[in-house]
Amino acid sequence: MTQTDTLIEVRGLCNRFGRNSVHEALDLDLYRGEILGIVGGSGTGKSVLLRSIVGLNRPHSGEVRLFGRNLLALPARERSELEQRMGVLFQGGALFSSLTVRENVALPLIEHAGLTRADAEALAEVKLALTGLAAHAGDLYPASLSGGMVKRAALARALALDPDVLFLDEPTAGLDPIGAAAFDQLLLTLRNALGLTVFMVTHDLDSLWTACDRIAVLSQKRVLVADSPERVAEYDDPWIQDYFNGPRGRAAYQAVQGS
């Protein structure tokens, strides 16, 4: 990849919480048009890394460059404008329970794009259709949705402002295998149709093999390796070997090869 292909550059990132150091001198690139999977053992700071990139967590030190600009050095207004080029699907969906699905998706269009409520809700219907939700789903409240519908509604909201980069935090967690597989295929379809770049924190081996162009493994407070799934699975590290070449890892790989 060339420099122009790099949408996000993380350099020397350090995240510390009191005496606990989560990341030290972490480097990572996200390339235009790819789906990058982020994996690692418990406590390696996968979600902390995501939150640091999207501006929800301020690192102790280091640089996060989005579209060539240092996010941490920008004035608040410019940083806010830059952050609107990113869509985020939080773990659990994080939908507003007091709003309908349509209103949840319309909200960022009203607040950030300045659309009228009528125009925002009309555009929200388009975003919901993109994610495969039935037309009546827009009238429902989050409490009435199945797990798969929550994920799709949250994805529609993340897509509301037509972002360049989509951040997903455990998007298939809690879904049954059929729902998770459908989400993976939806993600590939949207990436190809909309030209999205995707940063996905996941532990789902099926998603890693099915959807990801590259996988970055967090270990020892840094990115241990970032490469194609096949090359990562061959990396000489005990955790990686247990994860990718254990019974579940082999089954996920064989399922993809047989499809």
Contacts of residues 14-21 at CB distance under 8 Å and 24 or more positions apart, as own/partner, are 14/59, 14/60, 14/61, 14/62, 15/45, 15/48, 15/49, 15/52, 15/57, 15/59, 15/60, 16/60, 21/221
For the stretch 194-209, pLDDT in tens is 999 999 999 999 999 9
Alpha carbon 126 to chain centroid, angstroms: 21
pLDDT beyond 70 at 4: no
The predicted pLDDT at position 257 comes to 73
For the stretch 10-50, pLDDT in tens is 999 999 999 899 999 999 999 999 999 999 999 999 999 99
The predicted pLDDT at position 199 comes to 97
pLDDT-based confidence at 227, cuts 50/70/90?
Answer: very high
Distances from the Cα of 91 to the Cαs of 28, 31, 85, 101, 153, in angstroms? 22, 23, 20, 17, 13
pLDDT beyond 60 at 72: yes
| Rg for the chain, CA atoms, rounded | 18
The predicted pLDDT at position 159 comes to 95
Find the mean pLDDT for residues 152-168: 95
pLDDT-based confidence at 59, cuts 50/70/90?
Answer: very high
d(CA 78, CA 100): 31
pLDDT beyond 90 at 84: no
Measured from the Cβ of residue 97, the count of other Cβ atoms closer than 10 Å reads 8
Mean pLDDT value across the chain: 92
pLDDT-based confidence at 2, cuts 50/70/90?
Answer: very low
The predicted pLDDT at position 3 comes to 45
Phi-psi region of 199 (alpha: psi -120 to 50; beta: other; left: phi over 0): beta
CATH of 35-56+85-258, one of 3.40.50.300, 3.30.365.10, 3.40.50.970, 2.60.40.10: 3.40.50.300
pLDDT beyond 80 at 1: no
Percent of the chain with pLDDT over 70: 98
For the stretch 113-159, pLDDT in tens is 999 999 999 999 999 999 999 889 999 999 999 988 999 999 999 99
The predicted pLDDT at position 259 comes to 57
Find the mean pLDDT for residues 152-178: 93
Q: Which amino acid is at 102?
A: R
The residues spanned by each domain of the chain are: 35-56+85-258
